[in-house]
Each structure stands twice: as structure tokens, then as C-alpha cells.
Amino acid sequence: MLNKIKQETKDFANSFRINNHFLTHLGIDLLFWLVVGFVGLLWFRFGLAQVETLQRINTLNYQLSLGDLDQIPVLTPLLIKFFMNLVMFSVIFLVVFFMVWSISRVHLFNTYFNHKINKKFYLKFFLLKIVWQLFWLPLIIVLLIPFIVLLNSKTMTADIAQLTLLFFFINIILYLIIAYFGMFLYSSFFEHKKIYQSFTEAFSKGIYKLKHMIIPFILISLFFLICYALTLFLQFKVEHSLIFIIFLFFYVFTVVRIYILNKVVN
């Protein structure tokens, strides 16, 4: 047991090395968030552009409430146009997000497998990601909706606050479960390039290797606690600490993912 702890600690320490593998992972993540951030900014600008339309809709609704029925022919097409634009831009954002995410994950996992990637592989991996999300979607909805409702409660009593916190941690645990089995899913897909087999192996390998992940999870938890304490200290003691905290987050996230992926792939 002691030798196992020493080996895991050594493996974890090796994940901190800033080498080509580390820089590739970090670069892929930074590029992904830059692209997503740019697309998100465009979506936000679209939202700002709709403020005038919303104000006009509210004005027409108010006039209708006063009995001015002549505004119905004006309001109806305006509402249709607004909701169609909202749906269209939301769908575009989600499609772009999943496509960019899929491309980034392909190149990230390929640092372990060195496959020749073509258009067919990208599309199949994108389909795998969509199916994976749809598989978890019912459970996500069941757990996320109560949290959102509780969070927006007008009367936040002690009981509601505790229940809100409970659902918050439940959703975090669900995300970690999805992320954990997801790593086995993508690893299996790179080995076989088959969607169904990747699904079955994601759970079978994930459950089998769970007992070997106890020490890594303990090390990661302790590491995150130290980083959290450091960020709290920096917020109060260091000027422009936000920039440092952002870089610290990317560094920590990259270290942890490399460490876990080494356990998943090997």
C-alpha cells in the first residue's frame, strides 16, 4: 500500500512538468476557450441587439392590455421574428460549441494515440459526443431544474438554502461522473472507432478501474484544496490577482487531466 502511494505521488508530481505534451494540452484548451469565447461574444452582441425589439414588444403588450387590439397585426410577426432569431442563433452557438469541442478533444486524445485524423473521424467523434450528451440529458434535466428553481426562489429560507446547496453538490457530482466515464469513452473510441463498443467499454472499464483511482482522487482533492486556499489568499493580498488565478486554473486543470488520462489510457 505504501509503495502504491509513493508511485502515485511520483506520477502526480511528473504531471507538473512543463514539456511538449503539457504545452500541447494547454494550447488546445486555450485555443478552444478563445474560439468559444469569441462565438459567445457574438451571441451576446446578438442579445444586445434584441433589446430594442424586446422594448417594442413590451410596449405593444402594454397597449394590448389597455384594449388596443389594432396592435395585434404588428405584435404577432414581431414575436415570430424574435423567437426565430433566438432559436437560430442558439442552435448555431450550440453546434459551433460542440464542433469546436469535438475537434479539440480529438487532437487532445490523439497526443496519446497518434492516429491519422480525417474528416470521417471528426464527424464520427462529433456524433459520439452528441449521443453521449443525449444519453445523460434526462438525468441532467431532472437534477438541474430543481436547482435552478430553488436558486431563483423569492423566499430563501434556511431549509431552501440547504436544499439548494444539496442540489448544487449533486449536480457537481453528476458532472464529475460524466467526465470520468467520458474519458474512458473517448479513449475506447480512439482504440476501436466504434460508437457502441465505446459506450459499453466506457462503463465496464470505468467501473473496473475505479478501485485504482482512489489514491489519485485523494491526491487531486488535496491539491484542489491547496489551490483554493491559494486563490483566496491571492484575492486579498495580490493586485491583479484575477489574471494569475485564471492562469493557475488552466495550469491546475491541465496537470490533473494529464494525470488522470495517463491512468485511463495506460
N-to-C CA span, the chain: 20
> Which of residues 212 and 236 earns the better pLDDT score?
212
The whole-number pLDDT of residue 137 equals 92
Mean per-residue pLDDT of the chain: 80
The model's pLDDT over 14-35, given as tens digits with 9 standing for 90+, comes to: 777 888 888 898 889 889 888 8
The whole-number pLDDT of residue 201 equals 92
The model's pLDDT over 60-93, given as tens digits with 9 standing for 90+, comes to: 666 666 666 565 666 677 777 777 877 888 888 8
* Model confidence at 222: pLDDT above 70: yes
If you ran DSSP here, which 8-state letter would residue 236 be given? H
Q: Can you tell me the mean pLDDT for 119-146? A: 91
The whole-number pLDDT of residue 239 equals 55
Q: Can you tell me the mean pLDDT for 126-145? A: 91
> Which of residues 258 and 194 earns the better pLDDT score?
194
Tell me which of 36-40, 209-213, 257-261 is least confident: 209-213
Closest to 217 in 3D by CA, of 180, 171, 252, 266: 180
* Model confidence at 150: pLDDT above 60: yes
- Categorize the per-residue pLDDT at 155 as very low, low, confident or very high, splitting at 50, 70 and 90: confident
The whole-number pLDDT of residue 75 equals 64
Closest to 126 in 3D by CA, of 195, 58, 72: 195
Cα–Cα separations (whole angstroms), residue 119 to 123, 126, 168, 183, 250: 6, 11, 39, 22, 29
The whole-number pLDDT of residue 9 equals 74
- Categorize the per-residue pLDDT at 229 as very low, low, confident or very high, splitting at 50, 70 and 90: confident
The whole-number pLDDT of residue 86 equals 78
The whole-number pLDDT of residue 141 equals 92
190-193 long-range CB contacts below 8 Å, 24 or more apart?
A: 190/109, 190/110, 190/112, 190/113, 190/115, 191/113, 193/121, 193/124
Q: Can you tell me the mean pLDDT for 245-257? A: 78
> Which of residues 39 and 198 earns the better pLDDT score?
198
- Categorize the per-residue pLDDT at 199 as very low, low, confident or very high, splitting at 50, 70 and 90: very high
Q: Can you tell me the mean pLDDT for 162-174? A: 85
